[in-house]
Amino acid sequence: MYSRLKLVSLTANVEMTQKIAELLGVEVMPSQVLHFADGEILFEGKKSFRGDNVYIVQSTCAPVTERLMEVLLCIDACKRASAKSITCIMPYFGYCRQDRKAKPRQPISAKLVADLLTTAGADRVVCTDLHASQIQGFFNIPVDDVSAMPIFYRYISEKKLDDIVCVSPDHGGVVRTSKLAEKLNAPLAIIDKRRPKPNQAELIGIVGDVKDKNCVIVDDIVDTAGTLCLAANELKKLGAKGVYAVISHGILSKDAISKIQASGIDELIITDSIPLPEEKKIDKIKVLSLAPLFAKIIAALEDGASFSDTLERFARQQYHK
């Protein structure tokens, strides 16, 4: 059906790419990523890309530099092999937290990465829940920031929780949190925090009623989990009967898993935008797949269908099941 579609998997999202391929009824393009002794990376496709629409699936998660270089080299290889179009499916867009100059003499790394992808030859980029939506403006090519919220909504609604309150981890996340609160017909609470330096947070207080409520914390990234666990423990102290967290990207670096295990979090729900290693899989963590969403998106691009209509149909399916 999709004879000109070539699906390429690099090293970050092998399982997700295979699921996408199965849903589309295509094969993953045979290719390999090699590393020389000095660390140089080589991408090599095993079949022709000429005249094809290539979809490269790769999150630029840890090791970030290697994963980013893999994408750039793959784009260059496809471009030089006369691919008709090159679309980067990037479930997690690395360097997304560096979207502005927070202090003097700092880079705007998200802009630099956008320039690198464009210069390499990408024609389109599809991401999930960018840390800041203005990152789309860093590109001079089409960029689609798709939301995992419908997937989270379906999972939370199927749990049949009562007395839900959606909790924003900070003032900046109110818009994201309010979207889920609206669909769940739930009130909103806000955590007031200060961040003196990266990966450190100070909890000031919580605005809203959480006593005897099932609290659902909504965020885009969980890294070291320090802030999340601090918030969950405080919610439990204030009388919350359950604390759940729906977070798009589970980086879970350093001792995040042990913190979560020892915290007041009842369940952390993340997507597979960043693969969860076996050693980090615990009962408290639930992983939801983005593969059905990306399969719909790729099919829409191949069929020339409306991108927004496709996302709306997918969302309706999740909201009404």
Per-residue pLDDT for the chain (321 aa), expressed as one digit of tens each?
789 999 999 999 999 999 999 999 999 999 999 999 999 999 999 999 999 999 999 999 999 999 999 999 999 999 999 999 999 999 999 999 999 998 999 999 999 999 999 999 999 999 999 999 899 999 999 999 999 999 999 999 999 999 999 999 888 889 999 999 999 999 999 998 766 666 566 676 788 999 999 999 999 999 999 889 989 999 999 999 999 999 999 999 999 999 999 999 999 999 999 999 999 999 999 999 999 999 999 999 999 999 999 999 999 888 775
Reading the block at residue 170, the tokens are: 């900070």
Q: How far apart are CA 16 and CA 310, in angstroms?
A: 20
Contact assessment for residue 74 and residue 57, using Cβ atoms and an 8 Å cutoff:
no
Cα 283 to Cα 223, 251, 287, distances in angstroms: 18, 17, 11
CA-only gyration radius of the chain, Å:
20
Asked whether 67 and 14 are in contact (CB, 8 A), the reply is no
Q: Is the dihedral of CA 39, 45, 49, 55 positive or negative?
A: negative
Q: Where are the alpha helices (DSSP H) in 36-108?
A: 64-80
Taking the C-alpha atoms of residue 34 and residue 46, their distance in angstroms, rounded to an integer, is 13
Q: What is the pTM of this model?
A: 0.94
Q: Which residues contact 47 (CB under 8 A, 6 or more apart)?
A: 6, 29, 30
